Structure 1
Amino acid sequence: MSLSEPVRSQAPHLVIRSQRIDGVSAQLMDHLPTEGGLAWVRRGDGHVGWGVAARLDVAGSNRFRDAVSWWQELVGAAVVRDEVGVPGSGLVCFGSFGFTDDDPGELVVPEVIVGRRGGTTWVTTISPASSLAAPPELVIHQPDPVHDVAFADGARSGTDWSSIVADAIERITSGELDKVVLARDLIAIAEQPIDLRWPLRRLAAAYPNCWTFSVDGLIGATPELLVRREKGLITSRVLAGTIRRTGDDAHDLALAASLARSSKDLEEHEFAVRSVADALKPHCKSMNVPETPFVLHLPNVMHLASDVAGVAANGASALGLAAALHPSAAVCGTPTDVARDLIGEIEGMKRGRFSGPVGWMDAAGDGEWCIALRCGQADPDDPRRMRIFAGAGIVAGSDPVAELAETNAKLVPMRDALGD
């Protein structure tokens, strides 16, 4: 091994047991402890976990390959007693990855997982091979409310960011690229340490159709499914093209119709769908790529959306498929390499794990990976602070003022979740 190669920790030998249980709170997140909780919840179903039975931290150009290899090694050495037998029972990891190769990511196997799917609820315990943990007594924990939160500009002010958008539009118009996604951040500062369970609960309640997640201080409620792999079926939900809701139902219906006809938004959406379909094609025997998008209605915004589906042609895991898809045009641009270089040149901030894959995977390689959007990253050095993020797709027909307004709309979920 050369000195430049990363050192990958050896996967431990683990014993896993999943069994059905009763008496679990209707809200899975009620069971999360004060610190270190992991969550993946949508419409009340999903998983929450705590403790660390195994962990892998990765970065660099081989980060996805290293993570897949480590997971396969861990699965191969594990002893699993799964009395539930549904996707998500047995051995499961949670994970998140940075937008760029230089941004660190991780896979985490908790010591305890509480899961729910289709009316079935279970608990999974994971322990070293030398011991067999008993199922824990589940208790309900109440989070501390977050009060007195102030928001400040992050890497750039709104005015500066709009100037960057104008620069990007000029480059697109000149033919350098077709689309680029530019992001901005705000800093949330509370008077007291932020109990992450508070905004998590509020996000899950306000955005039940989104995937509410918590992995290593990254929390959010994302509407965009990067990829799901389940029993040979691969699906991906592509979102690109956005308009802010007004709260007036009749007006919003008219706005939805205008979004569905918008040549600028349809162009942006086409780039995103094409990038996903092209990335998944080598892994599918057959695919269904919708010809036209539908309008996805969320409480704060509406998106053009397309659900791409395919039948798996090989053994690529959910994480392997996520690696093939990332970064899609929905979070980077077209052509990918040119857009990524432009982001590095003009965006002016480190995204970290914002707009990277976040999700979970089981021992069979099935799982769900979303794009980390509508999210915030807790500051590891100051528990009172959090960075929250939003981005917008820029094409030739974009307007800097409108794009800034779009990012403000996309910041609403995290701002509201952190507010009183």
Structure 2
Amino acid sequence: MLKNEVAPAVATQLLEDYREGSSFFWSSPERTLLARGVHARLLSNEHGESNNFENLPERIAELLAHTKKSGHDISVVVGAIPFDYTKPSELIVPMSAEWAGPLLHNSEIKVNKSLITDYEVQEVPEAAEFAKGVNQVLLRLAQGDVQKVVLSRSIHITLPTVVDTHGLLRNLAQNNTHGYTFGISLLNEEPHTLVGASPELLVKKAGIQIIANPLAGSAARSEDSIEDERRAVALLASSKDRHEHAVVVAAVAAALHPYCKTLVVPDEPSLVQTNTMWHLSTEIVGELDDIRTSVLELAVALHPTPAVCGTPTDLAREVIKEIETFERGFFTGMVGWCDSNGDGEWAVTIRCAEVTGRSLRLFAGAGIVGGSTGEAELAETSAKFQTLFVAMGLKQQVDEMGE
């Protein structure tokens, strides 16, 4: 499939050709994909149950084999998988798929710079309740049964007119040049669109080569260059953030080791940046024992990482269920694609929003470990919301809301 990729200049046209409700758009540092229509959809497992992860790689392989036998020549599955592995995913074989190289992040992308000034905002939970939730997590940490919990909050924004999802996707693609920009139609309930620009690669596979790039430990960017550099240096030196990052890296490496004949895990994290955040990053590179191992098999083994759930995973998930006041849905799940060879790319579904008509539901989370405070974690989530706020032209107004 990757042999059919076309010149990078075509990638911008794929972005322009995206249509909400009927397209899947994916842009990574290496390639761009526009998939259209639905030829086949992954349904519940063979027992009719909703457990999303049960035999998922095998079910995807069977789906692709079935579509091939039917004469359909598109051998790729695209879509999203939710945070809660017992809930249904949104995975389809499209009617058509067009590939290109990476997007050209320049004036060729039509960017909507209009500022939205008329809108309503609802925080779920309210800031004070989120800070209270952080304190509840800290009490659990003090008991010693759980070492980290990722606590999230959401913001609901309602506009007077229908959201320009295509314009939002363009802006995200332009503003986030090194990550994974996506737009996907979700049809499990009422039709809506998941759109976002994730900085975090869960796992990528090409032949026997695999890459995972966990991020954990974050700091907000500053428009002042001197202050911005100070924050980056402080993050890299922070014992709290380095501990949080090390826990995630160790878990990712442990999940991948059984599949690999070699796995290279750097001893020290590096810094990566987006327009709004600094992150501690570790790129893990490996070679598979068996080329037949699917990228989805690796993704299922990794999900959810401590970067989006906590550690130990099962206990952290229970704490999340007890404290969070909303359903995450596809937030902190994964989004991407897989072909019939088992190759593909899956990003962690963060810096995202669900769009329905005139409304958007935005999400952000923060890893709570020893040394965390409600005030600091609230500030971190506010900074993470900025990816979507900036793309919507809401930056100044929501800066004031988050103060």
TM range (shorter): 0.7 to 0.9
Partner residue in 2 for 1:397: 371
- The structural deviation recorded for 1:147 is 4.4
Partner residue in 2 for 1:115: 99
Does the Cα contact within 8 Å between 1:90 and 1:363 map onto a contact in 2?
no
Partner residue in 2 for 1:45: 31
1:99 aligns with 2:76: no
Does the Cα contact within 8 Å between 2:218 and 2:280 map onto a contact in 1?
yes
Equivalent position amino acid for 1:399 in 2: T
Does the Cα contact within 8 Å between 1:236 and 1:308 map onto a contact in 2?
yes
Please point out which of 325, 329, 332 is paired with 1:348: 325
1:162 aligns with 2:131: yes
Please point out which of 320, 323, 334 is paired with 2:297: 320
Once residues 8 and 282 of structure 2 are traced to their aligned partners in structure 1, the CA distance between those partners, rounded to angstroms, is 37
1:289 aligns with 2:247: no
Please point out which of 246, 264, 277 is paired with 2:253: 277
Partner residue in 1 for 2:188: none
Does the Cα contact within 8 Å between 1:145 and 1:198 map onto a contact in 2?
no
Does the Cα contact within 8 Å between 2:201 and 2:346 map onto a contact in 1?
yes
- The structural deviation recorded for 1:261 is 0.9
Partner residue in 2 for 1:55: 41
The structure in which a higher percent of residues are strand is 1
TM-score in terms of structure 1 length: 0.82
- The structural deviation recorded for 1:70 is 2.9
Partner residue in 2 for 1:234: 210
Change (3 A) 1:146 1:153: same
Partner residue in 2 for 1:173: 142
Once residues 247 and 9 of structure 2 are traced to their aligned partners in structure 1, the CA distance between those partners, rounded to angstroms, is 47
Once residues 343 and 250 of structure 2 are traced to their aligned partners in structure 1, the CA distance between those partners, rounded to angstroms, is 24
Q: Deviations over 1:81-123 (max 9, x none)?
A: xxxxxxxx9522212111113432121222222211379xxxx
Does the Cα contact within 8 Å between 2:111 and 2:174 map onto a contact in 1?
no
Change (3 A) 1:391 1:34: closer
- The structural deviation recorded for 1:310 is 1.1
1:388 aligns with 2:351: no
Once residues 190 and 294 of structure 1 are traced to their aligned partners in structure 2, the CA distance between those partners, rounded to angstroms, is 39
TM-score in terms of structure 2 length: 0.86
Once residues 197 and 306 of structure 1 are traced to their aligned partners in structure 2, the CA distance between those partners, rounded to angstroms, is 32
Once residues 320 and 327 of structure 2 are traced to their aligned partners in structure 1, the CA distance between those partners, rounded to angstroms, is 10
Once residues 68 and 290 of structure 1 are traced to their aligned partners in structure 2, the CA distance between those partners, rounded to angstroms, is 29
Once residues 22 and 211 of structure 1 are traced to their aligned partners in structure 2, the CA distance between those partners, rounded to angstroms, is 16
Partner residue in 2 for 1:35: 21
- The structural deviation recorded for 1:51 is 1.1
The structure in which a higher percent of residues are helix is 2
Partner residue in 1 for 2:190: none
Does the Cα contact within 8 Å between 1:149 and 1:188 map onto a contact in 2?
no
Does the Cα contact within 8 Å between 2:27 and 2:102 map onto a contact in 1?
no
- The structural deviation recorded for 1:410 is 0.3
